[in-house]
Amino acid sequence: MNSIFGDRKTIFILLAPALVLYTLLKVVPVGWSLGLSFFEGNSLRGFEWVGVQNFTTFFTDPAALQSMWVSVFFAIVATALQVALGYALALLYVFVLRKGSTLVRTLVFFPTVLPTVAVAMLFRSFVAVGENQGPINDIINFFGGESVEVLASTVGTMTTAIAMTLWSSMGFYAVLLYAGLLDIPEEVIESARLDGANGFKLVRHIVVPLSLPILLSSIIFSLNATLKVFDSLLALNGGGPGTSTAPMTLYMYRTAFEYAEYGYGSTIAVILTALCLVFTLAIFRSSRRKAEV
């Protein structure tokens, strides 16, 4: 039996396409990019070995540091808010709406499948000002306020981007955490209730500790996704005003493909990858320490 399931020819036929494609087009390019980060130039001009100069440039380049700050800020704020909001929604589904939550769950999830570019267009029109102004400014005018040009300021753009991210992802995190909450045995909650734990107390001392693993997975997933934010900030305001809301992904894209600085672009990509790893490991380690205590 085992010899049949160990048939080398079959294994080769089934696995080779995936392994070859993955190695040639993912693993090799990752190594290549890593190597490119020590060079300067592009394929037309030629490459020149510069050692770690790209990395030192990065940490003295104000635009690069700004983009790193944007990425980290966006990742932390968006993660904190979307996981918290998703968790609140999941609690609402499980404990308040119970079996009647199907429709709400579906409708709140829907924006997740909408293309980020379309969502960005929608929010851009929503806060628009001028000849055709959006509902936000209409409401401000209705209460006697002056129209605000939200996307003209860094704070306004960032706020809109975060609101937009929350709008489109809260339903996703709600479903993710809802699945985790359903796994908590009914009896545990029931007996805690009878012991006098109710409402906030029940959530704080019973529900949160029991759903901690799925909460941590959500945080790691969310951090990894939001550190790579690209479409929403590009489509919302082009990383503007100026480049004040351009994340690392956008800075990397512009450096590599608009200014044809392949080497420096690769360096930014390497730092972004390292950042993703550091965030994930940090969360892992802090969770392990908590588990030991």
Partner 1 sequence: MTLTHTDTAYTVATPTVRKTGPNRTRRGLTKALRRLPVWILVAVLMIVVLYPQVWMVLGSFKTQSEFLSNPALSLPETWNFDNYVTALTNGNVARNWLNSVLVTIPSVLLIVFIGVAAGYALEVMIWKGRNGVLLYILAGIMVPGQMILVPLFITYFRIGITDTLWPLIITYTVMGLPLTTFLMATYFRSVPREIFEAATVDGSGPLRSFFVIGIPMMKNSIITVALVQFFSVWNDLLIALTFTTRPDLATIQVGLLSLSDEYGSTQYGPLFAAVSINIVVLLILFLTLNKKIMAGMAGGALKG
Place of tokens 């079959």: 10
Query: Shortest gap between Cβ of 108 and partner 1 (angstroms)?
Result: 5
Should residue 160 be labelled a site residue for partner 1 when binding is judged by CB under 8 A?
A: no
Among 5, 196, 288, 293, the residue binding partner 1 under the rule CB under 8 A is 5
Choices 62-70, 152-160, 213-221, 284-292; region in contact with partner 1 by CB under 8 A: 213-221
Among 56, 191, 198, 286, the residue binding partner 1 under the rule CB under 8 A is 191
Query: Shortest gap between Cβ of 76 and partner 1 (angstroms)?
Result: 17
Should residue 293 be labelled a site residue for partner 1 when binding is judged by CB under 8 A?
A: no
Should residue 55 be labelled a site residue for partner 1 when binding is judged by CB under 8 A?
A: no
Residue 255's CB is within 10 A of a number of other CB atoms, namely: 23
Among 65, 80, 84, 121, the residue binding partner 1 under the rule CB under 8 A is 121
Among 147, 156, 231, 240, the residue binding partner 1 under the rule CB under 8 A is 231
Should residue 13 be labelled a site residue for partner 1 when binding is judged by CB under 8 A?
A: yes
Among 70, 134, 189, 215, the residue binding partner 1 under the rule CB under 8 A is 134
- Alpha carbons 243 and 272: distance in angstroms, whole number: 18
Should residue 249 be labelled a site residue for partner 1 when binding is judged by CB under 8 A?
A: yes
> Letter for the amino acid at 24?
L
Should residue 45 be labelled a site residue for partner 1 when binding is judged by CB under 8 A?
A: no
Query: Shortest gap between Cβ of 225 and partner 1 (angstroms)?
Result: 9
